[in-house]
Amino acid sequence: MTKTTTTPITALSDEQLVAAYSKGDNQAFDTLLRRHQGRIYSYILSVVKNADVANDLFQETFMKAITTIKQGRYAESGKFLAWISRIAHNLIIDYYRQEKSENLVSADDIASHDVLNRRDLCDVNIEDCMVREQISEDVRRLIEALPESQREVLKMRYYGDMSFKEISDKTNVSINTALGRMRYAIMNMRRIAQENNIALSL
Question: To 10 degrees, what angle do helices 51-70 and 80-102 make?
Answer: 130
CA 46/CA 54 separation, integer angstroms: 9
Residues near 177 by Cβ (< 8 Å), separated by ≥ 6?
26, 168
Give the range of the structural domain holding residue 31, as residue numbers without chain letter. Answer: 11-96
Same domain, 123 and 174: yes
Q: How many CB atoms lie within 10 A of CB 176?
A: 22
CA 88/CA 15 separation, integer angstroms: 19
User: Which CATH number goes with the domain that contains 25?
Assistant: 1.10.1740.10
Flag whether 161 is in a domain. yes
pLDDT in tens, the chain (202 residues): 444 456 788 888 888 899 898 888 888 888 988 888 888 888 888 888 888 888 888 989 998 888 888 888 887 666 888 889 888 888 888 888 877 665 544 444 434 334 333 344 334 444 454 555 555 666 777 788 888 888 888 888 877 778 888 888 888 888 888 888 888 888 888 887 777 666 554 3
Give the chain's domain count. Answer: 2
Contact indicator for 47, 2 with CB cutoff of 8 Å: no
Same domain, 89 and 165: no
Flag whether 134 is in a domain. yes
Same domain, 197 and 123: yes
Flag whether 5 is in a domain. no
